[in-house]
Every structure is written in structure tokens, then in C-alpha cells.
Structure 1
């Protein structure tokens, strides 16, 4: 696996450009980083094989696809042991509404980013899916009023 300190300026520039637009061809990259298309192709392949590039995805319009409600949900587990955490993790893996899930230190155990079409769907998600689950003790929900910044880009 390539470590970040083994990346030269060309690798970093290629990664940065692909974060902005993964559809760039090796020809497009070569123009922007001043390397030949074949050199860009080899570098891209090496970055992919090393796992630094994990995949390529389309960014979809959440609102136009009917998922205009973004919710931040904190979850506290009923007991703190490995089995309970695994059961909760298994539940999350089956829930496509959950876009992000993070285990935390402090008061709450997890914070989730969940998208739903509307308030009724959010209510159903919390009351029919999360709260009845054996691993869950407490759920606190906040509805996002406005997203000021949302990115998956790393600061290369």
C-alpha cells in the first residue's frame, strides 16, 4: 500500500483532479499535470491498485430524487459490549437511508446521517426501525435546516 508520504506532486495533483471530476480521461489529466497520457494512466492504475483510489461514484441530486430531508440522529446503546455494537452495526448495514454512521466518544455512542423523503418517513425510521431494535436505548433526532458545506474531498 502506498503511503501518503510516497506520493509526489504529480500523484497528489492527479488525486486532487479526480476528486473534482472522476470522469477525466488520462488525456485530460496529462494536460493538467504536464505528464504524458501513458504516464498518467500508469500512475492512476498504481493509485487504484494501492487502494488510495477506492472507487468512482456519481454524485446524485438528493432533492430531485426525493430525499430532501437530511437528519442527524444520535444513538445511545442499551449496553456497551461488543455483541451489542455488532448487532447495531449489522442493522445499519441493512439501512440504505443511513449515509454515514460514526462511533463516538462522549455522551452518545453513534451519530448517523440519514436521508428521508419527509417527516413521516423520518418518524417511521426512528419509531419503527431504530427504537425497537434490541441494541438501542435512546435516539435523539435533529433535522438539518441548511447544508453549508458537504464534500467527500480530502484536502490534498
Structure 2
């Protein structure tokens, strides 16, 4: 197996694991009275991420890895773990608000309102660049910003209601 395939497999397994964790956390939050907001745009997020990763499998499986950019991607993975640990059972891929619960204010949430989205912006841009696919990074970064504009607006409205 090449390093390119190994990296893509890692990212794919990571994303699948996150979906399992998100489903588990969502069910627990909903059972405690939490409410989902902005569900209408969720399929768009899934489509964007699935297309991005699927396209990388098609285009990058046999391309060489650029070590400097791989280091940047690894840094984003460390930041991703920090976000997940900071949110704990409240981390999910959906907008789930637990009424009356205070916002998480530890970890990167001390400094940023939406550090998870900052990490996602970095990952979507950097992973294609690891393979030298700068044009791919640009296209998906633009699409991601468009989707995140909808997402952050919906999340801000949901949090303002709680």
C-alpha cells in the first residue's frame, strides 16, 4: 500500500468513526431534551464532504505526498481531536442544542466561537494540497465556505434561541 492510499484510508476511517460518534452523541442529547436545528442543510454538508473525499480517492490515490503539507494536515488532526475532547458528549455533526445548557467554554472554545469549522476549513484546503491538487483545494474551499455560511448562520440562530 502506498502512503497516499494509507493517508486517504486514515481520513476515510476517521470520518466514518466520527459519524458513529456523532450519531451516538446526537441520540444521547435528543434523549435529554435537546433539539435539532437547521436539519434542512445537513444533506448539503454530507454531499460536500463525501464528494470531496471521494474525489480525492479518484485523483490522489497514486500521487506523491508533499511532507510539509502533510505536517500541516497532521496539525489540523491534532486540533480536531482537541475540539472533540473539548465538546465531549456535545460534539455532533448536526446542530443539536441542549436547552438551558451553558455553551462550552474550554479548549479552543475559549478563543473561537466555531473552532471545529476553522479546522474543517483547513482540512478541506490542505489535504488536496498534500497531493499537489491546489485547484481541487480551491474549488472545494469555495464550496465549503458557501456551505459553512449557511451552517454558521443556522447555528448562531439556534444558540440565540436557547
Q: Using CA pairs under 8 Å that are at least 6 residues apart, name the structure with larger relative contact order, 1 or 2.
A: 2
Please classify the TM superposition score into its range, dividing by the shorter chain length: under 0.3
User: Which of the pair is proportionally richer in strand?
Assistant: 1
**Larger radius of gyration between Structure 1 and Structure 2:** 1
TM-score normalised by structure 1 residue count: 0.24
TM-score normalised by structure 2 residue count: 0.23
